[in-house]
Structure 1
Amino acid sequence: MPETAAAVTRTPSGRLALAASPEQIALGPLDGRYQSAVAPLVDYLSEAALNRDRVAVEVEWLIHLTGNSVLPGAGPLSAEQQEKLRGIVTEFDAAAVAELAEIEAVTVHDVKAVEYYISRRLPAIGIENLTAMVHFGCTSEDINNLSYALGIKGAVEDVWLPAARSLVGQIEAMAEENRAVPMLSRTHGQPATPTTLGKELAVIAHRLGRQLDRIAKTEYLGKINGATGTYAAHVASVPGADWQAVSKSFVEGLGLTWNPLTTQIESHDWQAELYSDIARFNRILHNVCTDIWSYISIGYFRQIPVTGATGSSTMPHKVNPIRFENAEANLEISNGLLDTLAATLVTSRWQRDLTDSSSQRNIGVAFGHSLLAISNVAKGLKALDVAAEVLAGDLDTNWEVLGEAIQMVMRAEAIAGVPGMENPYERLKDLTRGHRVDADRMKEFVSGLGLSADAEARLLALTPGGYTGIADQLVDHLK
């Protein structure tokens, strides 16, 4: 059947449009392909969540002002009136989002639209006489900085931190399970003093855990002090009020830390600090991904195939480490945004410019890519199986790594007065550097050194797999 003009929509270049409305198809992957992994962030960092939090801040400000009788003639609201006011927030749904958008289309100002949205509902509560108190003494940034702080705090504490802690806990469990599994170290990519797989995983968990401790202690600041942070309009309208006390108690009542000194904006320094800490966590996790990827490539880990999954479109034998590769990419994207936010949000020309307004709209995207990466690493780790026999075989072909132990024993013997222990480093260098040394050759070398009986017995009993020091005990530091 031929197409008709009424049946299809085409782009200016003639391509078939994908949907009648652009809103029906996601432009970015976080709202499309990966939506399920980042969905919990929508309730905190989406545009709709920001508007809900703006409504919440405006409502609480009105309740705070009346509850403290700050303005003459506007005393405390009844419990029922307060409940109905807060109902404007709890009932904020898709219809509310649409209504707010319609108001903003007229005001061309998002926060002013919120003010009108609330004012429309006061008559039904029986407090239309308090319409003038909605947004009283506020500049838009008074509402925005508190709304962003609430959304970010919720996203970190309720979504991002629990996911990150779960991942670290997963790595800690792997460290405990493999605490005594010997593994050849590779410094500069070359065979080096053996360790245990568990100890190396413990290092990762410890590094990530330190960053989570820093992030958990984040101080979320807020302010509500007027157009340039001077309470000028407040004092001019109600000179008898202790406006600093009113402001401080309100901000702290929201669960935030009061910032007493600001320009028109809250300076966003706390945001920059938070984003730098999360970016550092991301970078450590990126290092984890590249290391695990490399261990997979040399066979230390086997990947457990997923039933029905395709590793390669042409090579059926392959099980690709896609979870770790996906995580790498998303961590890089997240950090690109986090680094930009941390760098730009600390700067505002004189008392105010609007660069932060556009920048902060990408906070959810930065968190989303990090959360997606955490999810992928967690899934990737679950699909790994330790190839203990490969680790053991690698150790058995690298007896030269015992050169360090032999050299140090010779030094200790020299200090104890055993003769013939001169130049231990040079002698081991001649034996091992650039050469493969097997068990027999190493034992022959040790037997010919003239060591004390005890020292010789210890070295002859030593194997690469047994030369791990107290690596397994170090895992206990995670407790």
Structure 2
Amino acid sequence: MTDRGPLDAVSPLDGRYARYTEPLVPYASERALMRARVRVEVEYLLALADLDATPLTIDAAQRDHLRNCYEAFDEEDAALVKQLETEGYGEYAATNHDVKAVEYFVRLHLPDGLDAANWIHFGLTSEDVNNLAHRLLVGPAVEDVLVPELRAVRDRLVAFAHDYGDLPMLARTHGQPATPTTFGKEMAVYASRLGRAIARIEAAADDLSGKLAGASGTYAAHHAAYPEVDWPAVSEAFVADLGLEHEPLTTQVNPCDDLEAVFDAVRGANNVLRDLDLDMWLYVSDRYLGQEAVEGETGSSTMPHKVNPIDFENSEGNLTKANSDLTFLGDYVTTSRLQRDLSDSTVKRNIGSAFAYCLIAYQKCQSGLDKVVPNERVMREELESTPEIVGEAVQTILRREGHDDAYEQVKKATRGKSVTIEDFREMIAGLDVSESVREELLAVTPTGYTGVADELADDV
């Protein structure tokens, strides 16, 4: 078979979008999973040597040699693990088992003079290795790749909030003209939401848990070999040393409620960004936002003038795909028939794909935000041509002054009608109010009726 390049990839993640998904390779690739498994096997071997009950002794130089097995794990090492699994190598026939292949890989890399082959994978089931390996990848993938991209989006939104906190803009509720806001305040809303979503993701990623309890979660093999050892305590210390919380009660499978919490938290952030994408698309459509044209870029194959909001559209599509995958993953990995079935094994291999769609979306959203510029003239013109929106202010001030029918008066004069600012002034002129109140009402303008939106924008 000839070498396949990006144009031969069956998935856009490793084809068209490979340059976007590259940061996830150390966490989501097959090689990354192999390396994480080697790490678990090596560290477990060293933990066994630290037990007084076992006759295993590993000196400092041998420990360094063993740790180098995963610290320097490269393409050749990954190829050897795959060969052990699919073809066999040396004295080892093909395992047709990915974790067993890792066990044999560690055997092949034992330092000279260390007779420890029988202690590698001692008392373990594959899921002991896999559940830890996956979490050693998921946590950093979220914290080192996804969260920084989300923070970059939030930083851009905060900049918009501070730069345009006092730029008045017509709001729309139910798609209809409503009480004015400012562009900066609306961006501050998204920045605030995204900040909370990021905090939730970080909390979930910090709470990942692991198990090391054998084939049915009872430490049966460990206990049979060394009944005097407190194996739950050994497991807890080992899992903690890997930087994970310890899950004491499991079947063969770690229940994965912790992974589901991560997926759900990421999905929550994606929902915020998808909402943002939709709004930015509409603001571009309404000409509230202009877009900087990229030299040489084509907007339409037939309409040369077009500058399309393609980044927000691309982000929206990838967020939708990511959320579909994250929902599926969360639902699937938290179930297992009786003490174990293997269906989750292939499903978990798609965690990286879900994260990759997230990563593409975050980068596209950033690109879209970097291209847009608020169109102050259009925003102000639309506000001034929609004076009926100050009706809320007028009827509220009249209520304050004791007018029981204030709402009804303004409704009669404005609802469903084309109203001008002169119509408002004429209505105000006929009101039974003091001159100071009349002046207060006349001072209300569509562009000035934004409350404390500028202050709210500064708070984010």
TM-score (norm 2): 0.96
Shift of 1:125: 3.8
Between the aligned partners of 1:408 and 1:281, the Cα distance in structure 2 is 37
Shift of 1:477: 3.2
> Which of 399, 416, 433 is the aligned partner of 1:434?
416
Query: 1:70/1:185 Cα in 2 relative to 1: closer, same or farther (>3 Å)?
Result: farther
Equivalent residue number for residue 165 of structure 2: 179
Equivalent residue number for residue 198 of structure 1: 184
Shift of 1:451: 1.6
Is 2:161–2:458's contact at 8 Å kept on the other side of the alignment? no
1:116 matched to 2:92? The reply is no
> Which of 340, 352, 370 is the aligned partner of 1:352?
340
Report matched runs for 1:219-368 at 5 Å.
219-368=207-356
Between the aligned partners of 1:247 and 1:290, the Cα distance in structure 2 is 48
> Which of 197, 201, 207 is the aligned partner of 2:193?
207
Equivalent residue number for residue 7 of structure 1: none
Equivalent residue number for residue 13 of structure 1: none
1:103 matched to 2:84? The reply is yes
1:126 matched to 2:109? The reply is no
Q: State the secondary structure of the residue aligned to 2:433.
A: coil
Between the aligned partners of 1:23 and 1:336, the Cα distance in structure 2 is 28
Equivalent residue number for residue 92 of structure 1: 73
Greater displacement, 435-444 / 317-326 = 435-444
Equivalent residue number for residue 89 of structure 2: none
Is 1:399–1:436's contact at 8 Å kept on the other side of the alignment? no
1:47 matched to 2:30? The reply is yes
Write the deviation string for residues 92-122 of structure 1: whole angstroms up to 9, x where unpaired: 1111111111100110000000000000111
Between the aligned partners of 2:195 and 2:272, the Cα distance in structure 1 is 10
Q: State the secondary structure of the residue aligned to 1:464.
A: coil
Q: State the secondary structure of the residue aligned to 2:40.
A: helix
How many residue pairs end up in the alignment? 450
1:189 matched to 2:189? The reply is no
Report matched runs for 1:151-190 at 5 Å.
151-190=137-176
Between the aligned partners of 1:260 and 1:475, the Cα distance in structure 2 is 46
Between the aligned partners of 2:435 and 2:61, the Cα distance in structure 1 is 89
Q: Which amino acid aligns with 2:39?
A: A
Equivalent residue number for residue 409 of structure 1: 397
Write the deviation string for residues 119-159 of structure 1: whole angstroms up to 9, x where unpaired: 0111x3421x1111111111000000000000000101111
Equivalent residue number for residue 458 of structure 1: 440
Pairwise CA RMSD of aligned residues?
Answer: 1.2
Shift of 1:20: 3.1
Between the aligned partners of 1:455 and 1:285, the Cα distance in structure 2 is 44
Between the aligned partners of 1:299 and 1:70, the Cα distance in structure 2 is 74
Query: 1:23/1:384 Cα in 2 relative to 1: closer, same or farther (>3 Å)?
Result: closer
Between the aligned partners of 2:51 and 2:380, the Cα distance in structure 1 is 72
Equivalent residue number for residue 6 of structure 1: none
Is 2:393–2:444's contact at 8 Å kept on the other side of the alignment? no
Aligned sequence identity (%): 45
Q: State the secondary structure of the residue aligned to 2:447.
A: helix
Between the aligned partners of 1:462 and 1:309, the Cα distance in structure 2 is 45
Shift of 1:23: 6.9
Write the deviation string for residues 298-357 of structure 1: whole angstroms up to 9, x where unpaired: 100000000110101111100000001111110111011100001111110000011210
Shift of 1:453: 2.3
Q: Which amino acid aligns with 1:66?
A: A
Equivalent residue number for residue 366 of structure 2: 378
Q: State the secondary structure of the residue aligned to 2:179.
A: strand
Equivalent residue number for residue 135 of structure 1: 121
Greater displacement, 385-394 / 468-477 = 468-477
Between the aligned partners of 2:192 and 2:185, the Cα distance in structure 1 is 10
Equivalent residue number for residue 90 of structure 2: none
Q: State the secondary structure of the residue aligned to 1:466.
A: coil
Q: Which amino acid aligns with 1:98?
A: A
Q: State the secondary structure of the residue aligned to 1:255.
A: coil
Between the aligned partners of 2:161 and 2:458, the Cα distance in structure 1 is 10
Q: Which amino acid aligns with 1:281?
A: A
Between the aligned partners of 2:359 and 2:35, the Cα distance in structure 1 is 23
Shift of 1:450: 2.1
Greater displacement, 236-245 / 433-442 = 433-442
Report matched runs for 1:384-403 at 5 Å.
384-403=372-391
Shift of 1:238: 1.0
Equivalent residue number for residue 78 of structure 1: 59
Equivalent residue number for residue 12 of structure 1: none
Between the aligned partners of 1:91 and 1:185, the Cα distance in structure 2 is 56
Is 1:85–1:125's contact at 8 Å kept on the other side of the alignment? no
Equivalent residue number for residue 216 of structure 1: 202
Between the aligned partners of 1:472 and 1:67, the Cα distance in structure 2 is 62
Shift of 1:422: 4.1
Between the aligned partners of 2:315 and 2:209, the Cα distance in structure 1 is 31
Q: Which amino acid aligns with 1:427?
A: Q
Q: State the secondary structure of the residue aligned to 1:262.
A: coil
Between the aligned partners of 2:386 and 2:65, the Cα distance in structure 1 is 74
Residue segments in structure 2 that go unaligned for 5+ positions in a row: 87-93
Q: State the secondary structure of the residue aligned to 2:306.
A: coil
